[in-house]
Amino acid sequence: MSSPLLLALRRLEALDLQPSHREVLEEVRSRLSRGRLYVAAVGEFKRGKSTLLNALVGSLVLPTGALPLTNVITLLEHGEPGLTVTFRDGSTRDLPIDQLQSFVSEDLNPGNRLQVRWALVRCPSPFLQGGLVLVDTPGFESLHSSQTQEAREYLPRIDLALFALSVDSPMSAREMALLKDLSSTVPEVILVLNKIDFLSRDELDRMIRYLSSAVERELSRPLPVFPVSARLSHQDPFAWGLAALREHLSSTLKSQGTRIQLSANERRLLSVVGSISASASVELDSLRQPVQVLKDRIDRFLSGVEELRLRRSDAEALVMKDVDSLVARMDRELDRLRRDLPDLVVQRLQDQARRISASSRGDMARAAEEAMDLKSAAQDRLEERGRELTHLLRQLEEIEREISPRD
């Protein structure tokens, strides 16, 4: 494990984090310790992603069919045959593999009504022995928007992407946009042109040249293209391109696996740093607004208290009419104050407002005096919070330098 990355991970783990951030850190630690490379098939629906992964592991593990089936993230790793389904509430179930389709396919789990987060399939495929974990993702741009959302949210977890294309629709504008997003998120991307059994050799050569040129023009860098027929690869994996793809993935794991894993996990940690920094910066900017803004808001509240005190010396009927108007105005000031003050201070102001509006027998002078004290307390708390946020941002800058040191 990379020492700078481990140090940065430990420092991030020591912070007060949101559950989503802590989950990312836990996953990074697990991946670094296990040394796995997560390879995901990504692309629009009906590009043969599930069929491709079945071909790579040499077994019909994932459900396939004429309809766009996969609606849940499905992982394949080496092990004794078994299935573990993880649900969105954090619970899990261990099941036989033959029940997989009931949880990950649109026909048996429509709209993911079972609330499955992902399914982990263990199979004894020799191809997975070296530490590869294959990931089947729902197709983008299907009729079910939830599937696209599921797939998009998983992109940051991918180490290497197999971007699945089909010869019957080689590269749409939407696919190019998706490829750009993928390339900016995932360290390594490979283009897999599927269903090549529908083309002649000459047609295939021209399509590969077209794809290579279009991708390099849009991304300003070339990407490897592997033509395959996942459907026919069991007949002759060499003739239908599967053997070449397998060899490339295996050699990539051996020669570049560590680099790819570190690069992917650096990105994940930097995304956590960026998210925390953005939230802290927004909060700090709001605190850095002129203190006078806060003072003015509290002063307006106090003027309402004083005006209410003075008017209560008038006739009772007029007083009661004025009270309603003034209390409404004070409530609006409290709403504005609530955005800037900690909960305890807001509660104290609200308590005073209730006492003032409840009857004409309250001690107005004392209420005004207490509110003046609150002005000082609120300012002190804001300044303290500002110091906390400034310190946090300095820590995050140091962690960012540890993750990706600059020469």
What average pLDDT does range 150-171 have in this prediction?
91
Which pLDDT score is estimated for 362? 46
Q: How many CB atoms lie within 10 A of CB 337?
A: 20
Mean pLDDT across the chain: 82
Domain segments of the chain: what residues? 3-277, 288-403
- Of 159-168, 280-289, 339-348, least confident by mean pLDDT is 339-348
Which pLDDT score is estimated for 170? 77
Cβ atoms of residues 313 and 345 within 8 Å: no
What average pLDDT does range 224-243 have in this prediction?
93
Maximum average pLDDT range among 56-65, 113-122, 337-346:
113-122
Gyration radius of the chain over CA positions: 30
Q: How many CB atoms lie within 10 A of CB 19?
A: 6
Treating both helix axes as pointing N-terminal to C-terminal, what angle do 364-403 and 242-287 enclose, rounded to 10 degrees?
Answer: 150
Q: Is 307 exposed, middle or buried (0-12, 13-18, 19+ CB in 10 A)?
A: middle
- Chain segment 76-96, per-residue pLDDT in tens: 999 999 999 999 999 999 999
* Residues whose CB falls within 8 Å of the CB of residue 267, separated by 6 or more in sequence, listed in order: 156, 185, 187
Q: What is the DSSP string of 106-147?
A: TTTSGGGTT-EEEEEEEE--GGGTTSEEEEE-PPBTSS-HHH
- Chain segment 13-31, per-residue pLDDT in tens: 999 888 989 999 999 998 8
**What does the alpha-carbon distance between residue 287 and residue 283 come to, in Å, rounded to a whole number?**
6
Per-residue CA distances from 276 to 11, 349, 399, 404 (Å)? 13, 31, 12, 17
- Chain segment 24-57, per-residue pLDDT in tens: 999 999 888 888 899 999 999 889 999 999 999 9
Pinpoint the alpha helices (H) of 132-200. 145-154, 173-185
Q: Extract the tokens encoding 286.
A: 């709001």
**What does the alpha-carbon distance between residue 396 and residue 48 come to, in Å, rounded to a whole number?**
42
According to CATH, the topology of domain 3-277 is Rossmann fold (3.40.50)
Between the CA atoms of 170, 66, 51 and 213, what dihedral angle is there, to the nearest 10 degrees?
0
Cβ atoms of residues 402 and 7 within 8 Å: yes
Higher pLDDT, 196 or 379: 196
Sheet holding 132-136, edge to edge: 92-95, 82-87, 116-123, 73-78, 132-136, 37-42, 160-166, 188-194, 225-227
Instruction: For the chain, give the longest Cα–Cα distance.
Output: 100
User: Among candidates 364, 321, 405, which has minimal Cα distance to 2?
Assistant: 405
- How would residue 313 be classed by pLDDT, with cut points 50, 70 and 90? very low
Residue 358 has pLDDT above 80, yes or no: no
Burial pattern 79-100, b for ≥16 Cβ within 10 A else e, equals eeeebebbeeeeeeeeeeeeeb
- How would residue 308 be classed by pLDDT, with cut points 50, 70 and 90? low
Which pLDDT score is estimated for 335? 55
Cβ atoms of residues 121 and 97 within 8 Å: yes
Per-residue CA distances from 161 to 1, 29, 49, 142, 250 (Å)? 23, 21, 11, 20, 14
Percentage of the residues of the chain whose pLDDT score is greater than 90:
46
Cβ atoms of residues 402 and 396 within 8 Å: no
Long-range pairs for 365-374: beta carbons < 8 A, 24 or more residues apart: 365/309, 367/305, 368/302, 368/305, 368/306, 368/309, 371/298, 371/301, 371/302, 371/305, 372/302, 374/298, 374/345, 374/348, 374/349
**What does the alpha-carbon distance between residue 148 and residue 44 come to, in Å, rounded to a whole number?**
9
- pTM equals 0.75
Which pLDDT score is estimated for 279? 87
